Amino acid sequence: MAPANLIDGRAIAAQILGELTQRVAALKARGVQPGLAFVRVGEDPASKVYVGRKEKACAELEIFSETHVLPEATSEKNLLALLARLNADAQVHGILVQAPLPRQINQATVYSTVLPQKDVDGFHPVNVGKLMLGDAGGFQPCTPAGIRELLARSNVTMDGAEVVVLGRGNIVGKPMAAMLCQKEKHANATVTICHSATRDIKAHCRRADILIAAMGVAEFVKADMVKPGAVVVDVGVNRVNDPTAKSGSRLVGDVDFANVQPIAGKITPNPGGVGPMTIAMLMQNTVRAAELATSH
């Protein structure tokens, strides 16, 4: 029996995927199959796992997917040429370039090459700008959008809440803060972003009604940093050495789960919290991209 204060990301993601099956069926009735292209450069083991999970979700929803794998030494020019082909392919409604990219490739150039209307990752400057402006017409990054959905569907009050986001990255921290401070439903919060230069990070954390840890530091959030009853969302995925594990290591989040969980009002497990939601939101963005592309 799971503890009562766990936010079950798998169950909420399954709910969202269930809602999407009807939208996919409606598209199919019009002769449209949503299509998603994955692009992976090199053989990063984590990237392989992530793309594999996303491919599986596509298959379950009957979304057409294709994966393009380029060698580690690929030039930026070759990658951009592939993206130009995918941009022009009417069968492909969404394009996802899996990070990290090798050193010779400029990530910003890649993200701004994918057409904004196919940018289901929400990283194109146009979509980032729309998010900042509170324009719902763009695509929002999957992880923060998934976190907001987790909170909303777990009946967490965001209106007027003190939210502390640990981490200022472009994938989670910054877009998360931008989403939650908008004047709209399931937002309207007071948001503080903390990072490596923040003074007295513990004092900020202890003030939070909702604490979102996305800094990539293993078990950084300790029990004495959490206000009793606060909602804690753990985004981190960190590999730590563990001689007792078969592989010699194990994955942990950014939150010291065992010690924080008894104090938190609600908390996401890791795994089984934010991860499944990221994939569900990617599927939602892809279905929406297909709807938008074929609505005229």
Catalytic site residue from 98, 140, 261, 284: 98
Q: How many Å apart are CA 84 and CA 74, to the nearest integer?
A: 16
Catalytic status, residue 119: no
Q: Is the backbone of residue 122 left (phi > 0), alpha (psi -120 to 50) or beta?
A: left
Active site residue 22: no
Cβ atoms of 16 and 288 closer than 8 Å: no
Of the residues 8, 118, 119, 121, only one is catalytic, namely 121
What are 163's two structure tokens? 């939210």
CA 109 to chain centre: 21
User: Tokens in use for 93?
Assistant: 């409604």
Residue 246 is among the residues annotated as catalytic for this protein: no
Find the catalytic residue in 8, 54, 118, 284. 54
Q: How far is CA 136 from CA 93, 130, 131, 139, in A?
A: 18, 7, 7, 8
DSSP lists the bridge partners of residue 223 as none
Q: How far apart are CA 94 and CA 30, in angstroms?
A: 19
Distance CA 281, CA 29 (A): 23
| Catalytically active residues, by annotation | 54, 98, 121
